[in-house]
């Protein structure tokens, strides 16, 4: 019979799957019990969480809620089981599924792993599911979703582009004014130089000898 202990939120557990302060430790302490955290199952769950902000069954979409520290027999090793909760408030175990079953040549790598609830995993068995073909409606929904996600960002980007255009115009005018100022300054400098040369030449008064 399965023995259960504490319940843990997802972010608390996933923080221990890759813990920089502990390097690549395979176990982490959870309330006095060492638990394996660097398993392919845990890594698959964490990557889904980092990508989507949640862990959901790839098939039915049920969402994981919490981890429970469990062990299957007395004095056995503790492990963390991830559970979703269905509409009847019943816990549903989340499992790791190999997209291409290992019995048919699939590997255990992350590219071949996905989270499935235990119900969908049992229904799938070792079948190879064909990827769902997207319809026009599916594509329109995806486009609408992306627009809703990017809408605010696009508006801010457009505003930034307008402000950049105004700034570039102002900078261009400032540069033109600077070039005009430089040209005027060059003319004044030449005039000053000419005046300096004139002042440096001796003044000759008619009828007066030089040096007298």
Task: Encode pLDDT of 16-53 as tens digits.
Answer: 987 666 666 789 999 999 999 989 999 999 999 998 89
pLDDT given at position 162: 86
Confidence of residue 200 (pLDDT cuts 50, 70, 90): confident
Q: What is the pLDDT of residues 89-109, one digit of tens each?
A: 999 999 999 999 988 888 988
- Render 130-177 in DSSP notation, one character per residue: PPPPPPHHHHHHHHHHHHHHHHHHHHHHHHHHHHHHHHHHHHHHHHHH
Of residues 146 and 40, more confidence is placed in: 40
> What's the predicted TM-score (pTM) here?
0.60
Confidence of residue 54 (pLDDT cuts 50, 70, 90): very high
Q: What is the pLDDT of residues 79-91, one digit of tens each?
A: 999 999 999 999 9
Of residues 82 and 208, more confidence is placed in: 82
Confidence of residue 131 (pLDDT cuts 50, 70, 90): low
pLDDT given at position 24: 66
Do the beta carbons of residue 60 and residue 66 sit within 8 Å? Answer: no
pLDDT given at position 128: 81
| pLDDT of 165 above 70 | yes
| pLDDT of 212 above 60 | no
Of residues 210 and 36, more confidence is placed in: 36
Alpha-carbon span 74 to 142, nearest angstrom: 49
> Residue 85 to residues 16, 91, 98, 107, 117: CA-CA distances in angstroms?
23, 5, 23, 30, 10
């Amino acid at each position: 019979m399965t023995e259960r202990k504490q319940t843990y939120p997802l972010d608390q557990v996933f923080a221990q799957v890759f813990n920089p302060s502990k390097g690549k430790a395979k176990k982490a302490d959870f309330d006095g019990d060492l638990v394996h955290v660097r398993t392919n199952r845990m890594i698959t769950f964490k990557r889904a969480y980092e990508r989507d902000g949640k862990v959901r069954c790839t098939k039915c979409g049920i969402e994981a809620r919490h981890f429970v520290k469990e062990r299957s027999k007395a004095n056995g090793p503790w492990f963390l089981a991830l559970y979703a909760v269905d509409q009847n408030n019943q816990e549903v175990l989340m499992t790791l599924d190999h997209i291409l079953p290992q019995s048919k040549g699939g590997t255990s790598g992350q590219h071949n792993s996905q989270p499935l609830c235990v119900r969908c995993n049992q229904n799938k068995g070792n079948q190879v599911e064909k990827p769902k073909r997207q319809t026009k409606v599916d594509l329109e929904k995806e486009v609408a979703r992306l627009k809703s996600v990017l809408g605010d960002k696009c508006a801010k980007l457009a505003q930034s582009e307008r402000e950049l255009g105004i700034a570039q115009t102002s900078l261009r005018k400032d540069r033109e004014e600077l070039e005009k100022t430089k040209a005027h300054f060059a003319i004044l400098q030449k005039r000053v130089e000419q005046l300096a040369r004139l002042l440096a030449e001796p003044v000759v008064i008619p009828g007066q000898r030089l040096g007298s």
